[in-house]
Amino acid sequence: MIALTFLILALILYWAKRDAVKRARQTQFSGVVEKVRYDIHKYQFITINGTEYDLNGMKWHHNIPVHNGDTIVKQRGDLRIKLLRRNSRDTIMFDDIQ
β-sheet with 44-48: strand ranges across: 51-54, 44-48, 29-38, 71-74, 81-84, 91-94
pLDDT in tens, 28-79: 999 999 999 988 887 888 999 999 988 776 766 667 788 899 999 988 888 7
C-alpha to C-alpha distances, 42 to 48, 51, 53, 77, 81, nearest whole angstrom:
19, 19, 14, 25, 18
Give me the residue spans of the domains in the chain.
Answer: 2-94
Give the model's pLDDT for residue 36.
Answer: 93
Contacts (Cβ under 8 Å, ≥6 apart) of 33 = 46, 47, 48, 66, 67, 68, 69, 70, 71, 72
Q: Supply the pTM of this predicted model.
A: 0.69
pLDDT value of residue 97: 45
Per-residue model confidence (pLDDT) at position 32? 95
User: Residue 93's pLDDT band (boundaries 50, 70, 90)?
Assistant: confident
